[in-house]
Copies of this chain bind each other. A is one copy, B any other.
């Protein structure tokens, strides 16, 4: 099972601030309501992000579908793009849209390290910062 990773959440929040986004972690105890909330929220006045943070030392991460349903619902109401923000050991931060994540037979989400490295977005791509070479 993927760990919550408070230290990693803090690292992500700091990276977001450096990229000129205002960012905030969710309370450790959750929302104290019935509503799911993302681990991290960020915005820069035009892009708003809700990020479910998962970190692991293994090569695969499983995430309960209920958790992602909650992320998507929050983001739909709030007005934010939902992302899974994933940190494997010795990878950068990798970001996947929920719809691009493989599902198990029981409809939970399964993210393999190799797949994430190949398919996921990096932070500056998620933040709308063009990585193309400028001529």
Contact = CB atoms under 8 A, between A and B. Distances in A.
Contact of A10 (B13, B33, B75, B77): B33
Contact of A33 (B14, B26, B33, B76): B14
A58 to B, nearest CB: 26
A126 interface: no
Nearest to A45: B79
Contacts of A133: none
Indicate how many identical chains form the complex.
2
Given A10-B32, A14-B33, A24 B44 contact: no
Interface of A: 10, 13-14, 17, 20-22, 24-28, 31-33, 35, 37-38, 41-46, 48, 74-80
B13 A31 contact: yes
A45 B45 CA distance: 12
